[in-house]
Amino acid sequence: MSAETGPREQFQEAFQGSEYMFNPFDWKFITPSGTTANSVASAPAFSCLTQAEQISEMGPAERATGKIVLDVPAKTGTLVYAPGFVDQAWEWKL
């Protein structure tokens, strides 16, 4: 995953000055049959990557590349990123 944050003013307004981190709990998975797995975080997923491989906390006007491991119940379906701080979501077909 590659990510880029916006300018300091917008970032501080959106995150109240805190750093941003991709949280596994902001993701969900929808199987081809329409069943939603609302939790794609698991203990094994948290220990799959070294700290250097993970996408870490980000501040304003930063670019980062790293990985996040999600534990999904199927090889195909729709992965949804829906962070609670915005009124939109992003979807990817697997």
Q: In this predicted model, what pLDDT tens digit does every residue of 8-48 receive, in sequence order?
A: 888 777 777 677 777 888 899 999 999 999 889 888 888 88
Q: Which two tokens stand for residue 64?
A: 């980062």
Q: For strand 90-93 and strand 2-4, is the pairing parallel, antiparallel, or unpaired? A: unpaired
pTM: 0.76
Q: Select the more confidently predicted residue: 48 or 77.
A: 77
Gap between the Cα atoms of 94 and 88, Å rounded = 20
pLDDT at 23: 81
Of all residues in the chain, the percent with pLDDT exceeding 90 is 37
